[in-house]
Structure 1
Amino acid sequence: MHSAAAGFLEMGRFVGPATASDTPEVDVFRTLLDRSGLLLAGLDLQMCLVEASDEFVGQFGTSRESLIGSSFYELLHPGVHAPMRRQFTRLLEGRRERFVEHLAGVGPRRTVFTGEIAGIAVHSQCRELVGFVVLVNPEQTEPADAVVVDRNRILSEIGARILEGIAGGESTVCLASRLFLSRQGVEYHVGTMLKKLKAPNRAALVSRAYSLGVLTVGSWPPKVSPDFVK
């Protein structure tokens, strides 16, 4: 776990029952929000943003006015919506108090960045759930490595089938035979995906696809999420 996320969750141990002075957790969050350098945001129970640090606003490349009140899911790549909803549902139902999850977010100029997100449930003095606090830890990558994609659709139907085959270990010859393509046709589609996902080779292409949520985690044979297919 990234050290910042670990520190955030450690602080979350104290964002629990009201303190001796009856300071609600919301006040604790506001104190955290003022900490320099942290990409922190507060969400209500409908997953809309109610507060955000300057660093958080800058990471997602939007204005504070357009950010506050919008759905948190609008800032995420569709491929991570399902696991993120599962995590927040656990918080909402009281089955967990905090989590750390993989993140694929959409930043400035539609660039997709990956990293980690940590979240905790926020309670009032009466221990009533009032919202959530999230901390985003983006991976430190060079700007040239940033993947620029449409928020929803980045692969053709045939490209998706080829990516699934590559992830499953199929050769170019096998893919060409199964998909009724020439070997050159398969290589063309592979080359297009390598450029689109900024990957140097097929192994990196599969790794990047899983990182961005294009390939569904826990599925075998490998499956491309429908959210990414034109």
Structure 2
Amino acid sequence: MTITAAEAEFAGLFGLSPSEICGRDLCDLLAQRPESLRYRFAALTEGRSDSFTERVTGRDGAGRTFCAHLTAVGVAGSEGLSGLVILLHHTGDPDGAALHGRHTLSELDARVVEGVASGASTVQLASRLYMSRQGVEYRVGRLLRRFDAPNRPALVARAHGLGMFAAGQWPPRVLPDFVE
């Protein structure tokens, strides 16, 4: 994911010039863990996908964070994929408190995310949390929309990428800082 060419506006988001950004790894410029991005880029290069859009957090030259939507599109050549075009749409400049505050969970939502992360089924979660099956599905659906995740594994990945879970802990627990 090495950047080979960049427009001035793209490089400027990171506080760099086009010549300074070339040769850098895109994931090194992002403020989040890029595992999901690496998987999405692999799908592009292997031809399993034509494009994708992902919400990312970047760091500018002064170390401040910003939110953006990253869109990657594969460019086909005569012998298959010849390159990727990356578009970055700046969506805001969160300070640490705003970024963190936007991702706090209620106690019940935190328990739902923990259950999803541990692989519990809807029925298991309903029993564990004294809820109906429909209540669990409703909560999971709200969390999927809130975290802009297409499915349960993506929800867990986004929560993990935000640092909501303590490293090396099983079963996964949402850190108290993220619970209202």
With the shorter chain as reference, the TM-score category is 0.5 to 0.7
Contact in 1 for aligned 2:54/2:69 (Cα 8 Å): yes
Contact in 2 for aligned 1:114/1:211 (Cα 8 Å): no
Q: Is the partner of 2:107 in helix, strand or coil?
A: coil
Is the counterpart of residue 146 in structure 1 residue 100 in structure 2? no
| Alpha-carbon separation, structure 1, partners of 2:13 and 2:43 | 26
Q: Deviations over 1:118-173 (max 9, x none)?
A: 1111121x1421221110011134xxx4339xxxxxxxxxxxxxxxxx75729xxx
Q: Is the partner of 2:163 in helix, strand or coil?
A: coil
| Alpha-carbon separation, structure 2, partners of 1:138 and 1:222 | 32
Residue of structure 2 equivalent to 1:97: 50
Within the candidate set 72, 78, 83, 2:36 is matched to: 83
Q: How high is the sequence identity, in percent, across the aligned residues? A: 23
Letter aligned with residue 87 of structure 2: L
Q: Is the partner of 2:40 in helix, strand or coil?
A: helix
Contact in 2 for aligned 1:104/1:213 (Cα 8 Å): no
Which structure 2 segments of 5+ residues have no match? 98-103, 109-146, 148-157, 166-170, 176-180
Q: Is the partner of 1:110 in helix, strand or coil?
A: coil
Letter aligned with residue 41 of structure 2: F
How far apart are 1:112 and its partner, in Å?
1.3
Equivalent pairs counted in the alignment come to 117
| Alpha-carbon separation, structure 1, partners of 2:31 and 2:19 | 21
Within the candidate set 93, 107, 120, 1:169 is matched to: 107
Within the candidate set 51, 55, 58, 2:5 is matched to: 51
Residue of structure 1 equivalent to 2:17: 63
Within the candidate set 37, 60, 75, 1:122 is matched to: 75
Letter aligned with residue 107 of structure 2: G
Instruction: Assess, with a 3 A threshold, how the Cα gap between structure 1 residues 222 and 108 changes in structure 2: closer, same or farther.
Output: farther
How far apart are 1:221 and its partner, in Å?
4.1
Contact in 2 for aligned 1:121/1:129 (Cα 8 Å): yes
Q: Is the partner of 1:70 in helix, strand or coil?
A: coil
How far apart are 1:96 and its partner, in Å?
0.4
Instruction: Assess, with a 3 A threshold, how the Cα gap between structure 1 residues 97 and 169 changes in structure 2: closer, same or farther.
Output: same
Letter aligned with residue 134 of structure 1: I
Contact in 1 for aligned 2:72/2:85 (Cα 8 Å): yes
Q: Tell me the TM-score normalized by structure 2.
A: 0.55
Contact in 1 for aligned 2:11/2:17 (Cα 8 Å): yes
How far apart are 1:65 and its partner, in Å?
2.5
Instruction: Assess, with a 3 A threshold, how the Cα gap between structure 1 residues 102 and 56 changes in structure 2: closer, same or farther.
Output: same
Residue of structure 1 equivalent to 2:83: 131
| Alpha-carbon separation, structure 2, partners of 1:210 and 1:138 | 21
How far apart are 1:48 and its partner, in Å?
0.9
Residue of structure 1 equivalent to 2:139: none
Contact in 2 for aligned 1:104/1:211 (Cα 8 Å): no
Q: Is the partner of 2:54 in helix, strand or coil?
A: strand
| Alpha-carbon separation, structure 1, partners of 2:67 and 2:161 | 7
Which structure 1 segments of 5+ residues have no match? 1-46, 149-165, 171-206, 225-230
Larger relative contact order, structure 1 or 2 (CA cutoff 8 Å, min sep 6): 1
**CA radius of gyration, larger in:** 1
Q: Tell me the TM-score normalized by structure 1.
A: 0.44
